[in-house]
Amino acid sequence: MGTNELRSLCPALQNKTYFNYGGQGPLPNPSLEAITASWARIQELGPFTADVWPYIAKEVNSTRRLLAQCCGVPPHRLALTENVTSGCVLPLWGLPFTEGDRLLIGDCEHPGVVSACVELARRQNLAIDVLPVKHLRGDQTQCDAAVVEAIDQTLTPRTRLVVLSHLLWNTGQVMPITAVAKQLHQHPQQPFLLVDAAQSFGQIPVEDAAAAADIYAFTGHKWACGPEGLGGVALSERVVAEASPTVIGWRSLRDESKVDLSSTDLFHHDSRRFEVATSCVPLMAGLRCSLQLLENAGSAQQRWDHIRSLSGKFWQALQGLEAVKPLLEVPPASGLVSFQIIGDVSPAEHVKQLGTQGLWIRDLADPSCLRACTHITTTDDDINALVAAISALSGSDPPRQIILLKDNLKRRARSASSRSSKCTFSVPSIW
């Protein structure tokens, strides 16, 4: 399957120019149909009968195996969750902390994870240190070395947990997760490593990082183009062994049929101890379908290469706009491209203005900027249209390739008009 074919399967990409894959990816029609078919099958068999449970067990087990394979871990280390936040927080709150332990948190982490750490620290009398990574905007090798050095400088004898995203959701910088994991193993305390993988899963190869981290939490609804409401978390063997279940439900239990009040061994001995209760099983069919469609379009490495080629074109075009400043100083290592438009207009207002033209990106608060994401379904025309619109908003002269595209469209319009009065072609209003 080519990327154009995959694009044609996504209704969300037929009526807009979309660059918000980092917020939520488009759901392909086959995935939606798989969800619907699963709903229908559950109703035919159940929804609550002896006949339906083997079907549900098969759906759960096959999804767990597939996500575990994606993460390079055995299935017993993969817990199914609803989203990234639950994947981070549920095992986090079960870690064996002692009063006075310290948490080291990157300064680019998502507020959902940061707030959970703040509340955890408050309740258990822990301290929080900040790992400076927001300023890293350059060469990946230099960035990797700088992260390792910063951790060396901020680790303390009481550091018990490090929180660091695989791919920073605001700047787009990739973090060296495997190197950090190795570094922490050499520390006397061997701090746990929690990784927010919201922006990495489905976009860049994750097997090495997921297998190295202690908690590697991801969602299926962003770069994997699956439905919202389903994700997973890959756990290390020591988290499975040492962390206690937190939010307790029947899926956490070894025997869901009853509870022995005298028992001290109620919970699963694997990652399932962090699963809670009833989930939406049909979503699993949808996510598996989306992952298969992505795989049909190319290997993880091939998709990553394609995404980077597209984001590189966009980043390079922004370099040619005088009033626009990309955050990264080098071509992005992923599909995330964050940038600032110099002037008095807020990023939120720029998003609104672009939205009126059918061009969708998003604004971020810290640092204050705009973010556009390319995926394998992004086209050169999408990029050219967005660059042209940004050029108009910023008051910059458009890059030469945009001028050439504009002239070409005008020529096509004149040619079409001369051939037939019934055939119309208009230059987009963004110019």
Return the domain boundaries, the chain: 32-292, 298-419
262 pLDDT tier (thresholds 50, 70, 90): confident
Which pLDDT score, from 0 to 100, does residue 427 have? 31
Residue 316's DSSP bridge partners are none
Strands 324-326 and 231-235: unpaired
Average pLDDT over residues 391-407: 68
State the Cα angle at 317 between 311 and 322, rounded to 5°: 135
Least confident stretch, 105-109, 196-200, 421-425: 421-425
Fold category of 298-419 in CATH: Aspartate Aminotransferase, domain 1 (3.90.1150)
Output the average pLDDT for the chain: 92
Which pLDDT score, from 0 to 100, does residue 429 have? 31
* Cβ-based burial of 142 (10 A; exposed 0-12, middle 13-18, buried ≥19): exposed
* Cβ-based burial of 255 (10 A; exposed 0-12, middle 13-18, buried ≥19): exposed
Neighbours of 122 (CB within 10 A): 10
Give the phi and the psi of residue 120 in degrees, each rounded to 5: -60, -45
Give the phi and the psi of residue 409 in degrees, each rounded to 5: -65, -40
Closest by alpha carbon to 148, among 120, 182, 122, 196? 182
What are the DSSP E strand ranges found in 56-121? 78-81, 102-106
Neighbours of 145 (CB within 10 A): 13
329 pLDDT tier (thresholds 50, 70, 90): very high
Cα Dmax for the chain: 87
355 pLDDT tier (thresholds 50, 70, 90): very high
Please name the CATH architecture into which domain 32-292 falls.
3-Layer(aba) Sandwich (3.40)
Which pLDDT score, from 0 to 100, does residue 1 have? 73
Residue 301: pLDDT over 50: yes
Which pLDDT score, from 0 to 100, does residue 120 have? 98
Whether pTM > 0.75 for this model: the answer is yes
Which pLDDT score, from 0 to 100, does residue 2 have? 78
Q: Give the pair of three-digit tokens for residue 109.
A: 């982490």
SS3 397: coil
Strands 336-341 and 159-163: unpaired
Query: Do you find a cis peptide bond into 47, omega within 30 degrees of 0?
Result: yes
Q: How far apart are the C-alpha atoms of 267 and 254, rounded to whole Å?
A: 5
400 pLDDT tier (thresholds 50, 70, 90): low
Scanning the structure block, which residue is given the tokens 């449970």? 53
Average pLDDT over residues 15-40: 98
pLDDT in tens, 69-124: 999 999 999 999 999 999 999 999 999 999 999 999 999 999 999 999 999 999 99
Average pLDDT over residues 11-22: 97
pLDDT in tens, 151-163: 999 999 999 999 9
Which pLDDT score, from 0 to 100, does residue 404 have? 52
Residue 431: pLDDT over 90: no
Asked, colleague to colleague, whether 32-292 and 298-419 share their fold, the answer is no
What is the 8-class DSSP label of residue 47? S
DSSP for 255-305, written as a single string: -TT---TT-S--B-SSGGGG--S---THHHHHHHHHHHHHHHT--HHHHHH
Question: Do residues 328 and 354 make contact, with C-beta atoms less than 8 angstroms apart?
Answer: no
Q: How far apart are the C-alpha atoms of 177 and 419, rounded to whole Å?
A: 58
